[in-house]
Amino acid sequence: MADLKCTIAGIESINPFWLASAPPTDKYINVVRAFEAGWGGVVWKTLGEDPPVVNVSSRYGVHKDGNQGVLGINNIELISDRPLETNLEEIRRVRKEWPDRVIIGSMMAVIEEKVWKDLAVRIADAGVHGIELNLGCPHGMCERGMGSAIGQVPEMVEKVTRWVKEAVDIPVFTKLTPNITNILWSAEAAQKGGADAVSLINTVNSIVSVDLDEMAPNPVVDGKGTHGGYCGSAVKPIALNMVAEIARNPETRDLEISAIGGIETWRDAAEFIALGAEGLQVCTAAMLYGFRIVDDMIAGLSEWMDDKGYQSIEDFCGMAVPNTVDWNELNMNFDTKAFINPDSCIECGRCHIACEDTSHQAIEFTVANDGKRSFTVVDEDCVGCNLCAHVCPVPECIEMRPVDNGKPYVTWPNHSLNPMKAAE
């Protein structure tokens, strides 16, 4: 049985699965239920100065697939709407009752040194293992100069991180917003400010759908809607890229990463760890299915690690980072062709029409006298784009077969057709 223990920013956790700062970590009762279910830690819902904020009614919108499966939700809920002391008291209680679990205090404030420092000290005094700086919320709080209003300005990210590092002696996580042009600018700012780790991504700014009867964005609050923070499996690809950008950037590669963004399964977890995450945070999956979902995240990750022979998280942490490169480092001579296995083909024709209408007209469609439909790849026309394999409803029916062309690894900068190269 693989060991799922991990250490991030010097904090040890029984497993890498923490609940992210969000509605599921708002209260004692939720957090205790999460620990009973097996979560390794929680980042408490973001705390601010008193008086607490007031939330609106109607808070979540949803993006679904055709079969009622949730691809993503967006939310317009603000930070904790309970008094600071109530939260701190509950944190103290849980810390006492669950000594082997991690609690991180999340916080946000306006851009004033004293406010950040005072709040950080009060939270640290409640006994949390670390503090996470919420510089990401893209709705509501940013209109008050907090959340993403700070996270979108690298200078402020650095300043706030430094203030809190100066005020407390526990690890500090700077939580980054994806609503920027280049994640490296904020990651580097956090690093300069002294962050022990970065947490990313916060939610993506979004309008999830429009109510066509009310003619207003969802969720509709008395006839009007606003943009909210998008999360869930739909944002995982965005998060994976931003995590990888930080992990493979020479300036930030030593920065520890608590990865967040659409983690629903053990496989998602393994992918983030492979791209360099030391720890993980989950929110939407728990909101959709309950805390029990951690069971299979733990069991599935261990099974997979056993299969692969990894003893610990560290064994494969960051293993995919060296293989994540700029386009310019890809081998231009690599050639792969689709192969449609006639034995598993169910003759739906999806590959053909996708290729015929939108790609390279490389899948031939013939109907035999007995009505049998055949779909065959024309190798000369196939560019190896993978589209047919992606639209095929039968797993592994379409295989992408690399062509052994004996050609050397040549990148675009060294390619004979590159005009810049020719000019040399």
Gap between the Cα atoms of 16 and 101, Å rounded:
11
Gap between the Cα atoms of 258 and 173, Å rounded:
8
User: Is there binding between residue 101 and other proteins (CB under 8 A)?
Assistant: no
User: Is there binding between residue 342 and other proteins (CB under 8 A)?
Assistant: no
Least Å distance, CB 289 to other proteins, is 19
- Token readout for 196 is 């022990």
What is the separation of C-alpha 275 from the centre of its chain, rounded to a whole number of angstroms? 11
- Nearest to other proteins of 65, 169 (CB atom): 65
Gap between the Cα atoms of 313 and 258, Å rounded:
13
From the list 89-97, 133-141, 173-181, 341-349, the region that binds other proteins by CB under 8 A is 341-349
Dihedral sign, Cα of residue 159, residue 80, residue 175, residue 209: negative
Least Å distance, CB 344 to other proteins, is 8
Least Å distance, CB 66 to other proteins, is 4
Binding positions for other proteins, 343-382, rule CB under 8 A: 346-350, 352-353, 365, 371, 373
Residue 174: in which H helix or E strand, if any? strand 172-175
User: Is there binding between residue 322 and other proteins (CB under 8 A)?
Assistant: no
- Nearest to other proteins of 314, 381 (CB atom): 381
Q: Quick check: is 142 catalytic?
A: no
Least Å distance, CB 398 to other proteins, is 14
In angstroms, what CA-CA distances link 404 with 336, 378, 401, 408? Answer: 9, 17, 9, 11
The DSSP result for 26-74, as a single string, is SSHHHHHHHHHHT-SEEEEEEE-SSSPP-PPS--EEEEE-TTS-EEEEE
- Nearest to other proteins of 331, 358 (CB atom): 358
In angstroms, what CA-CA distances link 44 with 7, 91, 192, 392? Answer: 19, 8, 25, 43
Bridge-based pairing of strands 210-211 and 336-340 is: unpaired
From the list 59-67, 104-112, 190-198, 326-334, the region that binds other proteins by CB under 8 A is 59-67
The closest alpha carbon to 39, from 47, 48, 30, belongs to 30
The DSSP result for 273-334, as a single string, is HHTT-SEEEE-HHHHHH-GGGHHHHHHHHHHHHHHHT--BHHHHTTTTSTT---GGGS-TT-
Gap between the Cα atoms of 83 and 195, Å rounded:
27
- Nearest to other proteins of 69, 99 (CB atom): 69
Least Å distance, CB 286 to other proteins, is 25
From the list 38-46, 66-74, 237-245, 323-331, the region that binds other proteins by CB under 8 A is 66-74
- Nearest to other proteins of 106, 233 (CB atom): 233
Q: How many residues bind other proteins (CB under 8 A)?
A: 16
- Nearest to other proteins of 62, 115 (CB atom): 62
Least Å distance, CB 387 to other proteins, is 14
Contact assessment for residue 124 and residue 168, using Cβ atoms and an 8 Å cutoff: yes
- Nearest to other proteins of 72, 228 (CB atom): 72
From the list 62-70, 109-117, 234-242, 405-413, the region that binds other proteins by CB under 8 A is 62-70
Q: Which of 51, 223, 309, 393 binds other proteins (CB under 8 A)?
A: 393
Least Å distance, CB 145 to other proteins, is 41
Q: Which of 51, 54, 57, 67 binds other proteins (CB under 8 A)?
A: 67
Hey, how many other C-beta atoms are within 10 angstroms of the C-beta on 370?
Answer: 5
From the list 64-72, 82-90, 199-207, 326-334, the region that binds other proteins by CB under 8 A is 64-72
The total number of residues written for the chain in this structure: 424
Gap between the Cα atoms of 91 and 31, Å rounded:
9
Q: Which of 68, 181, 369, 416 binds other proteins (CB under 8 A)?
A: 68
Least Å distance, CB 395 to other proteins, is 10
Gap between the Cα atoms of 123 and 105, Å rounded:
6
Question: What region, left, alpha or beta, does residue 145 occupy, with left being phi > 0 and alpha being psi -120 to 50 degrees?
Answer: left
Choose the catalytic residue: 137, 345, 355, 397.
137
- Nearest to other proteins of 94, 387 (CB atom): 387
Report the catalytic residues.
137
Q: Which chain residues interact with other proteins by CB under 8 A?
A: 65-68, 346-350, 352-353, 365, 371, 373, 393-394
